[in-house]
């Protein structure tokens, strides 16, 4: 039997924001941690970059302030909503306090978290190998089976393997799905000089109800653009045809740019939006975190921010029982983590859903859009104030989260 004082090994599956930050925090505090990631590196086509003040505060609480300063990043200057080529309103950043929403390269962030974790003597890193199953011992999860046939034993397995989590499926834990009226096509394209000095997150809605948003990402010279699809909709166009579709929604200066750079528009990546929250996040020896437990809508970039907050709460509750080697206390801590995190997740998803309903109403109502265009000189400031007040909870977080260990 393992001595009670010996720290218990943890396997974390998935090196996204939740998994990488949790692995770093636990390993630095003396817990033996193995982080397993199916990809060999973090350079996949799409990784969310939007860090709200709540996510920036979480990273600073982890002691990552100096680390952040070295990463490719670009703050947002403002948010602009445009209907039929006319600006309805613009809201400056920061919306409150002194932290602006900031775009930070997620691959660079994950590499930096991994590099810091690797300084801890008990940290192990397994890239390029997938987890294919869970190991069960009685009624307890006791480790994972890897695609190379090897097995990793653990007193705790943490599944941070994303919205399509294999471990969630293998464990029998069920995701309560919420309907999403949209999917997204995600594009990358050359930037315009105006975005270099004034990086406005710009939402465009056209006369036919077509909608997209664009902004300058963390990397130099690159715009990112999300085109809104109705759920299940498919659109195939050439880069030139996409350039025309984007330009049809934009003011003249931007429309000209979008037509000029059309040949350089990337092949779109379809992001099927999945939203939900597991009715239960854990079994004995297993914990779900991040998108594995609660896939978020892309509205206001909550996924990465909530994942980082998950990691802080999990660290607070797990550290003592893991260091003590107390399996009963480990399992009790899983219940505490879920109980602390679920209220914020459900409130955030409800606010995202409210924003989505309002956007859908605008997309489907030409009369409402025309009325807003005509009344913008009179109502623009009131609409901007109402929008700003709705965003603040999503930006600051809906619960007080502090790293206490």
> Does residue 243 contact residue 227 with C-beta atoms inside 8 Å?
no
Q: What pLDDT does 46 receive?
A: 59
- Residue 329's nearest CA partner among 377, 362, 277, 284 is 284
What distance in Å separates the CA atoms of residue 375 and residue 56, rounded to the nearest whole number?
37
Measure the CA–CA gap between 61 and 123, rounded to whole angstroms.
21
Instruction: Please give the average per-residue pLDDT across 37-57, as a whole number.
Output: 85
Name residue 183's beta-bridge partners.
229
**Which two structure tokens, joined as six digits, stand for 133?**
């199953």
Q: Which CATH number fits domain 10-73+103-178+274-353: 2.60.40.10, 3.40.47.10, 3.40.50.2300, 3.50.50.60?
A: 3.50.50.60
The pLDDT of residue 306: 97
Domain ranges of the chain: 10-73+103-178+274-353, 182-272
- How far is Cα 202 from Cα 224, in angstroms, rounded to an integer? 11
At 358-402, the pLDDT tens digits run 888 898 899 999 899 898 888 889 999 999 999 999 999 999 999
**pLDDT at res. 327:** 93
Element holding 294 (H helix, E strand): none
- Using 50, 70 and 90 to split pLDDT, how confident is the model at 5? low
- Look up residue 281 and give its two tokens: 């996040």
* Sheet of 156-159, strands arranged across: 123-127, 33-37, 10-13, 156-159, 286-288, 282-283
What letter would DSSP give residue 216?
Answer: E
Of 31, 283, 271, nearest to 162 by C-alpha is 271
Residue 94 preceded by cis peptide, ω within 30: yes
Among residues 230, 247, 261, which one has the least CA distance to residue 82? 247
The pLDDT value recorded for residue 1 is 40
CA dihedral angle for residue 216, residue 361, residue 394, residue 254, rounded to 10 degrees: 10
**Helical pair 239-247 and 252-260, crossing angle rounded to 10 deg:** 180
Residue 345: which H helix or E strand, with range?
A: helix 327-364
Instruction: For residue 7, give every residue at least 6 positions away whose Cβ sits within 8 Å of its Cβ, in sequence order, or none.
Output: 30, 31, 32, 122, 322, 323, 325
For residue 4, pLDDT beyond 70: no
Name, in order, each residue with C-beta under 8 angstroms of 108's C-beta and a sequence gap of 6 or more: 71, 72, 218
Phi, psi of 347 (to 5 degrees): -65, -40
Rounded Cα distance, 110 and 17, in Å: 7
Q: Are 297 and 163 in contact (CB under 8 A)?
A: no
pLDDT tens digits for 313-365? 999 999 999 999 999 999 999 999 999 999 999 999 999 999 888 888 898 89
Cβ atoms of residues 347 and 302 within 8 Å: no
Give the model confidence (pLDDT) of 272-302 as tens digits: 788 999 999 999 999 999 999 999 998 888 9
Q: How confident is the model at residue 45 (pLDDT cuts 50, 70, 90)?
A: low
Which band of pLDDT confidence, cut at 50, 70 and 90, is reported for residue 2? very low
Tell me how far apart the alpha carbons of residues 383 and 389 are, in angstroms, rounded to a whole number.
10
């Amino acid at each position: 039997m393992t001595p009670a004082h010996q720290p218990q090994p943890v396997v974390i599956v998935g090196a996204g924001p939740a998994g990488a930050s949790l692995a770093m925090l636990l390993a630095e505090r003396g817990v033996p941690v193995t982080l397993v990631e199916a990809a060999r590196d973090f350079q996949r086509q799409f990784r969310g970059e939007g860090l709200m003040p709540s996510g920036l505060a979480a990273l600073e609480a982890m002691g990552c302030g100096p680390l952040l300063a070295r990463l490719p990043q670009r703050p947002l200057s403002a948010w602009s909503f445009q209907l039929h080529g006319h600006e309805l309103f613009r809201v400056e950043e920061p919306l409150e306090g002194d932290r602006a929403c900031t775009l930070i390269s997620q691959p660079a962030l994950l590499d930096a978290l991994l590099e810091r974790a690797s300084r801890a003597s008990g940290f192990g890193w397994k890239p390029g190998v997938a987890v294919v199953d869970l190991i069960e011992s009685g009624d307890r999860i006791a480790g994972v089976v890897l695609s190379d046939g090897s097995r990793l034993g653990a007193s705790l397995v943490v599944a941070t393997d994303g919205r399509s989590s294999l471990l969630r499926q293998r464990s029998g834990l069920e995701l309560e799905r919420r309907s999403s009226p949209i999917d997204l096509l995600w594009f990358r394209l050359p930037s315009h000089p105006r975005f270099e000095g004034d990086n406005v997150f710009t939402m465009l809605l056209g006369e036919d109800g077509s909608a997209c948003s664009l902004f300058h990402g963390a990397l130099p010279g690159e715009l990112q653009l999300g085109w809104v699809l109705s759920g299940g909709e498919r659109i195939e166009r050439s880069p030139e045809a996409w350039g025309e579709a984007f330009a049809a929604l934009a003011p003249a200066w931007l429309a000209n740019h979008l037509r000029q750079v059309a040949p350089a528009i990337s092949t779109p990546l379809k992001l099927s939006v999945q939203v939900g929250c597991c009715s239960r996040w854990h079994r004995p020896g297993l914990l779900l975190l991040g998108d594995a437990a609660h896939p978020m809508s892309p509205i206001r970039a909550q996924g990465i921010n909530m994942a980082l907050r998950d990691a802080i709460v999990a660290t607070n509750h797990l550290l003592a029982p893991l260091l003590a080697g107390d399996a009963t206390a480990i399992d009790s801590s899983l219940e505490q983590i879920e109980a602390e995190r679920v209220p914020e997740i459900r409130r955030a998803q409800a606010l995202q859903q409210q924003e989505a309903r309002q956007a859908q109403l605008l997309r489907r109502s030409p009369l409402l859009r025309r009325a807003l265009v005509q009344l913008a000189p009179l109502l623009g400031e009131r609409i901007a104030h109402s929008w700003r007040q709705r965003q603040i909870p999503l930006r600051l977080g809906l619960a007080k989260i502090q790293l206490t260990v």
